[in-house]
Structure 1
Amino acid sequence: MPDISLRRFLLILFALVAGLLAVAAQAGTIYGLNHTHWAINHFSVDGRSAVDIIGPYQGGGGGWGYSPPAQWRPGMTVRVDWETGVAYSDDFPGFADRTKYKAWLAKIDAQTRQHSTVVPVPDYGSQKVCGITVHFLPCDQLQVTTSCYPYGAPEYPIKTPLHLPEPTSCPK
């Protein structure tokens, strides 16, 4: 391995860090709003991880690094992968009785589901974009927006109430 002077090494390191910071400054957050009675255990948008556990009828976020293209284009989509499960369980038996604990864990795991879908990104035209917000709806339906306005603001484009009734059956 060739010798690199400390000064040259520091200059290269500085350039790399500056480049990463410039990319991060252009990237937005990944936020989620859960309109269902299930917990969202974790989710990602185009492979970029968001946040772990959004409880029923709650929002959460903080995942970093989603940058919509500067120009929206027709047919633009994102792939969202997510896991649903129970938000909490009142019947946790503790860890002392391993048999009861394992039975409880199997019951919780049996309710966990993996999902993946491709969602159209609405036209954001020349508006400023601020990452992406994923709305998790009943029947494993999703909506996304790149709006900079917070959920509930008059300008926010998705008006879906946070507390949605669960349908008795979902379309196939």
Structure 2
Amino acid sequence: MPYPAFPCAAIALALLLIAGCATAPAPAQASGTIEAINHTHWAINRFSVDGRNAVDIIGPYQGGGGACCFAVPEQWRPGMTVRVDWETGASGVSNLAKEFPGYADWPRYVEWSRKVNAQKRQHSQVVPVPDYGGQETCGITVHFLPCDQLKVTTSCLTYGHPNYPIKEALRLPEPTSCPK
């Protein structure tokens, strides 16, 4: 028995469309992890770069992240940026964290939780990506600085290496007021 023409034509069209999509050239990219260095006294509860989530909570004056993967375009272009979204809050070593009442006294826990949540702040910033032409790239590292400032790098070197492009000390002093 012959096959109906419509289903065969639909399948053939779908295969052509898939084949066309599969052969479309993609821009060359190097892929790596999303890392962070926190130069502040606040915890970074979560962060993402261009919508890609990192995996760690990063305590004050620590590094972390480790999420895969962030694709760095093969060629840097003037005006390149990334969007970083993050949440700050009290660190795990803060007095508030030490006051954790446990779950047995539910009213005390609810009050404590309200205080913790009151310290959380949501942030978002578009950050320029520095020129990485002629250098090997290894994902992206976000540096969280006082006054909700950020710097990013695609360098494969580790923070603290003499040739690492971001030179700020890990423990930066917190200013009494931040520029607007």
* Structure 1 segments of 4+ aligned residues over 6 angstroms from their partners: none
In the alignment, structure 2 segments of 5+ residues that lack a partner are 1-28
Q: 2:134 aligned to 114, 126, 129, which one?
A: 126
Q: What is the CA-CA distance between 1:26 and the residue it aligns to?
A: 4.2
Residue 65 of structure 1: how far off its partner (Å): 1.2
Structure 1 portions without partners, runs of 5+? 1-24
1:151 and 2:159 matched: yes
* 1:171 counterpart residue number: 179
> Which residue is 1:61 aligned to?
65
Match of 1:84 among 85, 88, 93: 88
Query: How far apart are the structure 2 equivalents of 1:136 and 1:68?
Result: 20
Q: 1:38 aligns with which of 42, 63, 72?
A: 42
Deviation readout 1:133-160 (Å, 9 max, x if unpaired): 0000001000000000000001100000
Report the RMSD for the aligned CA atoms in angstroms.
1.1
Give the secondary-structure state (helix, strand or coil) at the position aligned to 2:170: coil
Letter of the 1:103 partner, please give it: E
The Cα shift of 1:27 comes to: 1.7
- Read off the aligned partner of 1:31 and give its amino acid letter: E
**Distance across 1 between alignment mates of 2:107 and 2:165:** 49
Matched with 2:104 is 96
1:74 aligns with 2:82: no
The count of aligned residue pairs is 148
Quick one: distance in 2 between partners of 1:105 and 1:98? 10
TM-score, normalising length from structure 2? Answer: 0.80
Which has the higher Rg, Structure 1 or Structure 2? 2
1:63-100 CA distances to partner (integer Å, 9 max, x unpaired)?
A: 11101110000000000000000112111111111111
Q: In structure 1, what is the equivalent of residue 145 of structure 2?
A: 137
* Residue identity opposite 2:107 in structure 1: T
Identity over aligned pairs, percent: 70
Report the CA distance between 1:51 and its aligned residue.
Answer: 2.0
Q: 1:19 matched to which residue of 2? A: none
- Pick closer, same or farther for the CA change 1:71–1:26 going to 2, 3 Å: closer
